[in-house]
Structure 1
Amino acid sequence: MGGGPDLPTRAASKEKELVLCVLVWPEEQVEGPIKALKEAFKDVEVEYYHSKFENGKAEPVDVPEDTLRRATYLATHFWLPPSASAIPSTKLIQFFSAGTNHVSQHPIYTDSKIPLCSANGVHGPQIAEWVVMMDLVHSHSYTKLYDNQKKRVWDQKAGMNVSDRVGKRVGVLGYGSIGRQVAHVAKAMGMDVIAYTASPRKTPESKRDTGYIVPGTGDPDGSIPGAWYSGTNKEDVHEFLKQKIDLLVVSVPLTKETTHLLSTEEFSLLHKSNPRGTYVANIARGQIIDQKALITALEQAHISGAALDVTDPEPLPKDDPLWDAPNVLITPHCSGATDVYADRAFQVLLENIKREKSGGKLINEVNRKRGY
């Protein structure tokens, strides 16, 4: 019959796959990475929602049901839909955070098989700089010097108590991407590095970093540590802590097993093995350290000091005794911030979409049983 050409049916026209982004930056701040994503995949479109987040609290985000149903890939920091049934087309959830412990009780985590990937690796350079900065501030007595500057006091003696880093030992508790970049920088400063991981790393292949690596950083082949310790029980951790550590970097993921991993007994071991004092830097999660035991260890000088970017709880209440503990430096969970964070995280997302499409092994896929 007449009437012109047939209109294309929905089945005949291939609908673009949807990348749903629910992230903490205003969209105009990530126009570059979004453009790169669209250029890399001509068959995808992007819908963006700003998830406002401040001091540990996120504002609710209203994403239309139709958008959720269409989403093939979800990029998010914290936000998730109520259940997997709300996102029936989703093949991958890419978190822009290093860990996923904040969603470990969510039904999508516990009851679905949607692959979850972290942004582990994007934080290495800036957090390693934070760790080294804090260690140097401590070892060069800089807080005293700065206090004197504000009081306009010239006291040369206050700056004479210096312990340079050459020959000192860094113990990296959790040798992931952040720990590897700490090792990279520490080695350049002439420090000795020892590493600890839950699983044994006895072969060259097992020591490799298979996650995302910022080019030119880290320890891709795992060759930096002079010694490597491993295990999951207390005795294994204690053997590591007995190694006369000058700087202990806490960079393990938070799991049931690592909660209060460092407490009174562990601080006592550090003190016995290194009476001059271990400096503890925690950039992981506050709950990994028993905070009351930490305060006691600081007060009794069982450790030389602590640099904490994470606390338990967060935000740390104004009346918490940790604020007044001796030789402690506290920052508000900001060591991972950098002006190129979004660019790096979108690179992980782009690579994982590429691998999902080709059937390859995803980067940083979370093992739900292990918790990371």
Structure 2
Amino acid sequence: MEGEKPWALISEVGEQGYLEELSDILTQHFQIIGHRDFLRDPQLYGEKIQAMFVWDFKPAAEASLLSSLPSLKVVANGGVGIDHLDVPYISSLGVKVTNTPNVVDEATADIAMALLLASARKVVEGHQIATDPKTTHIMQCPMGEEVSGATLGIVGMGNIGYKIAQRSKGFDMRILYHNRSRRSVEDEQAVGASYCQKIDDLLKQSDFVVLAVNLTPETTGLISHRELSLMRSTATLVNISRGLVVEQDALVTALRSGKIRAAALDVTHPEPLPRDHPLLGLPNVLITPHVGTNTYTTTRKMMQKMVQNALAAVTGQPIPNEVKP
């Protein structure tokens, strides 16, 4: 019965929230209310809401909102990264926090390779030439960089980093990686990866550097002036982690001076960047709007896992993907 379904707070369904064609995953198990509608009468709904679904960082799990949800049992996040959630604070309220690991790995690894290839082979520039109304015959096209046989450095060899290595092996790339802990010999041999205990060694040798780390206090500003100065002048930086992992002013300086060849970014800080941000005007930068998980298959799996986690928390069952403080 509709009245027996637990209530859940979401951002909204539509352009700024959940895809309408996938919202049935939520409504099958929850009575949902959008954040905007909730704010019109928080007293009416506040006592009812037991779950909050956070998608693309919205609704923001701020203290002012959480305090108006006395029956809340779970904040279910879509995606792996939970740097936008104050997990210790939320947990102190007796509210569980969950995320959706593993289901995002394939799509995120795909976007890493897409950015790497598009930047190396100047796909966007080529498209602009081919579709420009002023193009009547093809002159000298932009020259790209060879990917096959190049050296790839992966910073962060978790599930996503390892998936990137698997894909890179198909391009006969020499694969280096830096991680807090070394992978097993079997894992290394399966993709032909070599471990660099120091990130400096990886940066000095790589033609392409892919960042695939979680955002933590230790990884915030991980790539700044010093790290960029160690990279090859022909190297490309690819970031599919979080914008704050890279010190953007340092990146602008490195790109303008030719210290590195290019950057390909699926993440920035903030998102979107201010329209006058210098990164937007550089010809050797490729930026996509944080679309690493944006496939119908992955989005559906993420939403299903969010619902699974939330239902477990609401019904007092073991939670598959609980994030501990």
1:134–1:307 contact (8 Å) kept in structure 2: yes
Listed as ranges, the matches of 1:66-105 within 5 Å are 67-77=45-55, 78-79=58-59, 80=61, 82=64, 86-104=68-86
Given that 1:298 and 1:326 are in contact with CA atoms closer than 8 Å, whether structure 2 keeps it comes out as no
1:26-105 to 2 correspondences below 5 Å: 26=14, 28-34=20-26, 38=29, 46-51=30-35, 61-62=39-40, 64-65=42-43, 67-77=45-55, 78-79=58-59, 80=61, 82=64, 86-104=68-86
Is 1:267 matched with 2:259? no
Q: Tell me the residue number matched to 2:209.
A: 248
Distance 1:172 1:60, change over 3 A: farther
1: CA distance, partners of 2:78 / 2:41: 18
Structure-2 separation of matches of 1:112 and 1:119: 22
Change (3 A) 1:251 1:60: farther
Alpha-carbon RMSD: 3.5
Question: 1:20 matched to which residue of 2?
Answer: 8
- Give 3-state SS (helix, strand or coil) of 2:167's partner: helix
Indicate how the Cα distance of structure 1 residues 50 and 341 shifts in structure 2: closer, same or farther if over 3 A, else same: farther
Q: Which residue of 1 aligns with 2:109?
A: 128
Q: TM-score, normalised by structure 1?
A: 0.70
CA-CA distance at 1:295 after TM superposition: 1.3
Report the equivalent of 1:362: 320
Q: TM-score, normalised by structure 2?
A: 0.79
- Are residues 156 and 290 of structure 1, via their aligned partners in 2, closer, same or farther at CA, if it must alter by over 3 Å? same
- Please give the secondary structure, in 1, of the residue aligned with 2:95: coil
Deviation, structure 1 residue 94: 1.0
Report what 2:262 is aligned to: 305
CA distance in 1, matches of 2:45, 2:129: 57
Q: CA deviation at 1:267?
A: 0.9
* Candidates 239, 245, 259, aligned match of 1:288: 245
Q: Deviations over 1:276-301 (max 9, x none)?
A: x2211112222211112111211222
SS of 1:146 mapped into structure 2: helix
Indicate the residue corresponding to 1:163 in structure 2. Answer: 145
- Does the aligned pair in 2 maintain the 1:299–1:326 contact within 8 Å? no
* Cα distance, 1:130–1:50 mapped onto 2, change above 3 Å: same
How has the CA–CA distance of structure 1 residues 296 and 341 changed in structure 2, closer, same or farther, with 3 Å as cutoff? same
Relative distance call for 1:331 and 1:353 in structure 2 (3 A) is: closer
Identity %: 25
Q: 1:186 to 1:355 in 2, by over 3 A?
A: farther
Q: Which runs of 4+ in 1 moved over 6 A?
A: none
Displacement, 1:22?
A: 0.6
Compared with structure 1, are the counterparts of its residues 119 and 186 closer, same or farther at alpha carbon in structure 2 (3 Å cutoff)?
same
2:122 to 137, 141, 151: 141
Larger Rg: 1
Once the two structures are superposed, residues 11-60 of structure 1 have per-residue CA deviations (whole angstroms, 9 ceiling, x without a partner) of xxxx956251414434743344236x54xxxxxxx1212357xxxxxx98
Q: What letter corresponds to residue 200 of structure 2 in structure 1?
A: H
Q: Is the 8 A contact 2:79 2:104 kept in 1?
A: no
Gaps of 5+ in 1: 1-14, 39-45, 53-58, 208-220, 231-235
Deviations 1:200-227 (A, max 9, x none): 54587xx7xxxxxxxxxxxxx9953612
From the superposition, tell whether residues 193 and 355 of structure 1 become closer, same or farther in structure 2 (CA, over 3 Å). Answer: farther
**Superposed displacement of residue 131, structure 1:** 2.4
Closer/same/farther in 2, CA of residues 85 and 322 from structure 1, 3 Å limit: closer
Distance in 2 between residues matched to 1:328 and 1:119, nearest whole Å: 30
Q: How far, CA to CA, are the matches of 1:105 and 1:349 in structure 2? A: 16
- Asked if the contact 1:69/1:87 (under 8 Å) is kept, the reply is yes
Gaps of 5+ in 2: none
Query: How far is 1:350 from its partner?
Result: 4.0
Matching residue within 180, 193, 207 for 2:175: 193
Distance verdict in 2 for CA 1:18–1:195, change over 3 Å = farther
Match of 2:164 in 1: 182
